[in-house]
């Protein structure tokens, strides 16, 4: 017998449909309906809710799409070969964010496995997947998911994800998954037919989840159970929690804290570290403050301020949310204090923003640093990568500033060779009305941020998706190969020198000349020199050159560095004899 159950306090009647055979279900006082029915291990089923056949909210598989029947599925323990896997701690690691559908031409888990050795050779330790849960249509960024427990069939379904994670672990790579708990997609979301999963409020992307109202206990359980399933059944090593600032929770124990407690409990049982990484634009250190000190106890959070500071300083862009960034003072502050906006005025928001990070208690490794993400590329008007408007030297300079920082670094797929392919926003909504609304909404958003909208690609055009696939012939050609070698050298240097993996911000020193355009970051005896200006500059420091984009010249007054270049110097001899 198989136990089928579903939480559905709203409908008056729920019945189970297994392969066309209808069975009664019994309602219990807690709002759960249950039925014991003999079925095949791969039986297709659904719930008749007041006469309408709907997929299981906790569906483990959706072979016919998000509107079709669910299918029973259990991960086969015999399919795993990672019994000796003990996980990786986040501190000291290197993340690599990728989208399964565009990482390879085939766009599947199995095709991605064939490229894992590239990541190992690069020095990656964590692969971070953009969302893979079920969504409507053939391709999507993944943030329009509606059935959080199912894996998108186009990528290879749940068995494909198992093969991918197992292959990563065999190569020493941990796996993180991007999950979205702040809203549901617009197509295939039937949760409100079962229970009060949603509120009347909305955020930028859709209706908000009921985390604090009546019957919210089961809604929160739905989320926590989903997170734990990824860890337990799919052997994942961590989750990236999308836009947690959009979670509306006024309870005494925030959902994030509840999730952190449950994750720590499971981590102890599995005897391997499990990471929770938040995306948040609040600059709120409480997310990564230990629960014993009144925080939520998450492992880490993305640091957009670092991205903005590096990007604006190197590129010169100042529109939209880059308005407050771009100076070397801003860059130096962010490299030493974590957040630039830390209770300071944000002209983009028109108010004070953020809170100061306690750098003596919270290590820099709790912040994820990057020069690129899917958002910072894909949410540009035409999805152009930095390689489209920066020189190779500027790309290398950006990489050096992040990869030698005290933060946990993350790369976005193809960044390491300056990929020439764009990463654009793409969808495949079957509903014409939704397709038009998505395209119109993108244009309005770009107009509000000061971007020209005439050339914004149509998300529904299949060419938009195909253009966004990586070209794996590029890494072996011309300046792409040279940039890739530079990334490898920087990552190797970070791994070999303890000064660079030291996470404590209190030990970082920064000198700079705003007018001349140079900056020097002190990491123990190491000096990371950057010339953000176009012309050569003489920087008043010297030492043994460990790595450089172009060889610098040593003079009596310092090191002459070419324009848009970096160098890493070792001043150990000078420090020793002072």
Q: What share of the chain is helix, strand, coil (3-state, %, to 5)?
A: 35, 20, 45
Q: What angle do CA 138, 437, 450 make, to 5 degrees?
A: 110
| pLDDT band (50, 70, 90) for residue 576 | very low
CA-to-CA distance for 205 and 379, rounded, in angstroms? 14
Q: Is residue 7 within 8 Å of 57, Cβ to Cβ?
A: yes
Q: Model-level pTM?
A: 0.97
Q: Which residues, including other chains, have CB under 8 Å from residue 155's CB and lie 6 or more apart?
A: 100, 101, 107, 108, 109, 132, 161
| pLDDT band (50, 70, 90) for residue 453 | low
Q: Give pLDDT tens digits for 95-151.
A: 999 999 999 999 999 999 999 999 999 999 999 999 999 999 999 999 999 999 999
Annotated catalytic residue 242: yes
For residue 117, CA distances in Å to 104, 113, 235, 302, 418 come to 14, 8, 20, 26, 19
Q: Which residue has the tokens 């919210």?
A: 216
Predicted confidence at residue 578, as pLDDT, reads: 26
| pLDDT band (50, 70, 90) for residue 160 | very high
Which listed residue (97, 242, 258, 324) is catalytic?
242
91 burial level (CB within 10 Å; 0-12, 13-18, 19+): middle
Q: pLDDT: is 40 or 436 the higher one?
A: 40
Which listed residue (237, 279, 284, 324) is catalytic?
279
Q: Give pLDDT tens digits for 482-519.
A: 999 999 999 999 999 999 999 999 999 999 999 999 99
| pLDDT band (50, 70, 90) for residue 402 | very high
| Average per-residue pLDDT for the chain | 95
CA-to-CA distance for 374 and 411, rounded, in angstroms? 10
Flag whether pLDDT at 423 surpasses 80: yes
Q: Is 17 helix (H, G, I), strand (E, B) or coil?
A: strand
Query: And the tokens for 90?
Result: 């986040």
| pLDDT band (50, 70, 90) for residue 204 | confident
Q: For the chain, which domains are there? A: 2-78 (2.60.40.10), 95-496 (3.20.20.80), 509-576 (2.60.40.1180)
Print the SS3 string covering 97-149. Answer: EECHHHHCCCCCHHHHHCCHHHHHHHCCCEEEECCCEECCCCCCCCCCCCEEE
CA-to-CA distance for 373 and 363, rounded, in angstroms? 22
């Amino acid at each position: 017998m198989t136990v089928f159950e579903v939480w559905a306090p709203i409908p008056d009647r729920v019945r189970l449909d297994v392969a066309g055979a209808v069975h009664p279900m019994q309602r219990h006082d807690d709002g759960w309906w249950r039925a014991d029915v003999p079925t095949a291990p791969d039986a297709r089923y659904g719930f008749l809710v007041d006469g309408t056949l709907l997929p299981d909210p906790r569906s483990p598989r959706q072979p016919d799409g998000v509107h079709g029947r669910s299918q029973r599925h259990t991960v086969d323990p015999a399919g795993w070969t990672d019994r000796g896997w003990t996980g990786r701690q986040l501190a000291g690691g290197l993340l690599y964010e990728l989208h399964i559908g565009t990482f390879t031409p085939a766009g599947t888990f199995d095709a991605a496995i064939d490229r894992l050795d590239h990541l190992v050779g690069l020095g990656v330790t964590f692969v971070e997947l953009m969302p893979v849960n079920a969504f409507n249509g053939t391709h999507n960024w993944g943030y329009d998911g509606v059935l959080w427990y199912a894996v998108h069939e186009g990528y290879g379904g749940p068995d494909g994800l198992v093969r991918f994670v197992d292959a990563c672990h065999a190569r020493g790579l941990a796996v993180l998954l991007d999950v979205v708990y702040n809203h549901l997609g617009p197509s295939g979301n039937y949760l409100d037919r079962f229970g009060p999963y949603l509120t009347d409020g909305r955020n930028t992307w859709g209706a908000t989840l009921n985390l604090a109202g009546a019957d919210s206990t089961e809604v929160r359980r739905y989320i926590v159970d989903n997170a734990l399933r990824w860890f337990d059944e799919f052997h994942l090593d961590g989750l990236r929690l999308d836009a947690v600032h959009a979670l509306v929770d006024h309870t005494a124990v925030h959902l994030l804290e509840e999730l952190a407690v449950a994750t720590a409990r499971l981590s102890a049982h599995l005897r391997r570290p499990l990471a929770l990484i938040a995306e948040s634009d609040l600059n709120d250190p409480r997310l990564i403050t230990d629960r014993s000190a009144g925080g939520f106890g998450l492992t880490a959070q993305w640091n957009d301020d670092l991205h903005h500071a590096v990007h604006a300083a190197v590129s010169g862009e100042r529109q939209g949310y880059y308005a407050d960034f771009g100076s070397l003072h801003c860059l130096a502050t962010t490299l030493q204090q974590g957040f630039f906006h830390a209770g300071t005025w944000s002209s983009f928001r028109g108010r004070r923003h953020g809170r100061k990070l306690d750098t003596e208690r919270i290590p820099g490794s709790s912040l994820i640093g990057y020069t690129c993400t899917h958002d910072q590329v894909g949410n540009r008007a035409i999805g152009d990568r930095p390689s489209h408007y920066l020189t190779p030297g500027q790309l290398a300079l950006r990489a050096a500033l992040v990869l030698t920082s005290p933060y946990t670094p993350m790369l976005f797929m193809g960044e390491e060779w300056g990929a020439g392919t764009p990463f654009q926003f793409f969808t495949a909504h079957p509903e014409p009305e939704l397709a038009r609304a998505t395209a119109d909404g993108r244009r309005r958003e770009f107009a509000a941020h000061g971007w020209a909208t005439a050339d914004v690609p149509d998300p529904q055009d299949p060419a938009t998706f195909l253009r966004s696939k990586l070209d794996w012939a590029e890494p072996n050609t011309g300046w792409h190969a040279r940039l890739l070698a530079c990334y490898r050298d920087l990552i190797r240097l970070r791994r070999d020198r303890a000064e660079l993996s030291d996470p404590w911000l209190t030990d970082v020193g920064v000198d700079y000349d705003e007018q001349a355009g140079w900056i020097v970051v002190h990491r123990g005896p190491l000096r990371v020199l950057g010339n953000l200006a176009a012309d050569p500059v003489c920087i008043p420091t010297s030492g043994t050159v460990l790595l450089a984009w172009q060889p610098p010249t040593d003079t009596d007054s310092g090191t002459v560095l070419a324009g848009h270049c970096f160098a890493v110097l070792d001043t150990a001899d000078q420090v020793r004899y002072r």
